[in-house]
Structure 1
Amino acid sequence: MIKWAKVLSTPALGTAIAFSSITTSHAAEMKTAKAETTEHVSISQAQAKGIALQDCKGTVTSTEFKQESSVYVITIVTNNLEQRIVEVSASTGKVVKKQEVKLWTQNQVKESVSKQYKGAIQSITFNKETREYTLTVVDGKVEYTLTVDGLTGKVIHENKKELQLMSEQKIKEAIVKQYSGYVYSLEFKESASQYVAVILKNSTQYTVTLDAFTGKVVNTSQQEVKVLTRQDAKDLALATYAGKVKIVEYDQNAAIFTVKIIKDNTEYTVTIDAVSGEITHVKQDKLQPLTENAVKDLALKHQEGKVEHIELITENSITVYVVTLVSGSKQQTLKFDAYTGQECS
């Protein structure tokens, strides 16, 4: 049997040979190009970053490799909040191009935002990674959190929320964090949405105005004030409740004096404002006189001997025990407050 073989014509055969040659040649060129590209990249991305940072101090925010030009494009935000674009050759490690892009300053951003929002700017921060500013603006009962593009100065995001009026307790807590004194008074001014606090610390009086929604201090002033002495407090209490002063105490944290006075069978606890001198509170407690045995023990602690006589009398509006002691040939008379046990002259 004769087998038929397909024979290519001369033109067709030439075309086939030519195509084969071209394909082989093209493959060789591609291989060479690939080898050349591989040879060009001798610097790593990390090395390129280091080279760029040596040339320009700051924070790297992005890195890109451009294969067609075999360079690393590195974006850096400097400590002065300026953006620099540095191109580093991937083959030589040399800086081949530098470009400076001005970022908006804080003052420029504040000025721009103030034209768009009526409230007060509470805070502003800058993120080097995103090249964005974040601002907090309070306008009455509304708080805005804004994100501003550092390159264009445009507000790219806005978050709005209604604020709640802070309670007096919360305001006091906010004050205590900033001042170590005593909150002498606190007043809410509805028309201005503010609290006005008066704080006492030793002899200094601070007047602090706070935003009623945020607790932020918006104004402060201070002045020296006269605080009552212990003798002043004692005299004020006795002027109202004549008797015998048992004790005078001062609470520096609350700026008040507490004076205890015994009159007849009543103990008066008088609270006095240390700044104004006003008696703010009075408490009365009925007392029971000490027993004779208790008074005898007090007398014998003062003087050794034998108690010969003891008597309860009222003298100069004060109830006292009169105790007669005998020691050998000596006789002594002692007097004790019937309620406090204090020796009377």
Structure 2
Amino acid sequence: MIVHHRRKLAYTLGSKADTRQFIPFSKNTNTNRGRKVFIDAALAPLFAHAFQSDEASALQMTSKIEQLGALGGNVTANQNTGTPFEYMESIGKLAIYYQIHQGSEDNQTPAGVYITGVQRASEEGEDQAGLYQSFEGKSAEVLTKIAEHEQGFIKAHAKATRAARVLQTLAGVDGWEVPNSFNFFYIPAAIENEMGLWMTPDSRAMRPAVVAKELASVLSETQKHRSNGKPIKWQIEGDTVKLLQLAVEHLPNLLDKHHFILTNPVADTAQVVNAFQRRGAKIEGKFTDNKRALASAKVSSEISSSNTDLKEALAKAGSGSNTALSNYNSSTGSIKSSFIEYVKNLTGTLAW
């Protein structure tokens, strides 16, 4: 079952507070046949990711979104009861949020379908976010919130047991071929999706902040009560690093019993590194050719007020990225093309 958590809109479409730039979704939806379909241009990075990953599904998704001009708001759409004219359609692996605007004398916004948000859809699993351990190949939740093993991971997956199986290959075996034990902080896949590419004020998800607070609690309890003399070495990758960023405000003052290895981080890496190093944690990063991580590093280096060495390291990591998308947030120019053409121009480089 797909569960979608709705967000409360921060402003009314077309009001003075609404500074979003809506552009035609495609040339096919900018005609006088049926309702026109517009989309918030700030959603381009998420669509670029979909276009990059699978061209066939991207074309199918584009076709179905174009059909919203004729079918939007029908009986298959999930309507937001708090905002009567906002709907959600599941299209492929994406949940598409939109409003149907009829137009009026006191609101000059053209009539049509307005796509206001996009979220990757995930099955809502039964496992709760929190600390787990894998011991002799069997996983279980750690209710004390104390990580005692030498290896640790922060991992998102549909199920905790599946996450444990995936991580076991990284943890390896001992000299007797017995699976090495490890701790892992489990993040439900649906939560990770909510930490995705959000660029507009009304689409900031809240559930990841709750999970980040739980992670901060685990780090704090481990710092206070860990009996193992060696720091636990946490491995964390990609968008999941954002959870560390969200946890910063809840961290204790000392974290010298923790060692973090960030692989292709898609977050404000400079903020994360500074916050954890100030608390005594050891932290290191690894970049491959992941384009989103490289673009993220570039953005982080540009906005960071951190030490020069860190800024230079991030800038170097992101030097190969296309700045067009990385600098999207600071751009004030209007987009003249259709959304689909704009996305095609951005495909290949993604910003966090």
TM-score range, shorter chain: under 0.3
When you count helix as a share of all residues, which structure comes out higher? Answer: 2
Structure with the greater alpha carbon radius of gyration: 1
Q: Which has the higher contact order (CA 8 A, sep 6+)?
A: 2
Task: Tell me the TM-score normalised to structure 1 length.
Answer: 0.17
Task: Tell me the TM-score normalised to structure 2 length.
Answer: 0.17
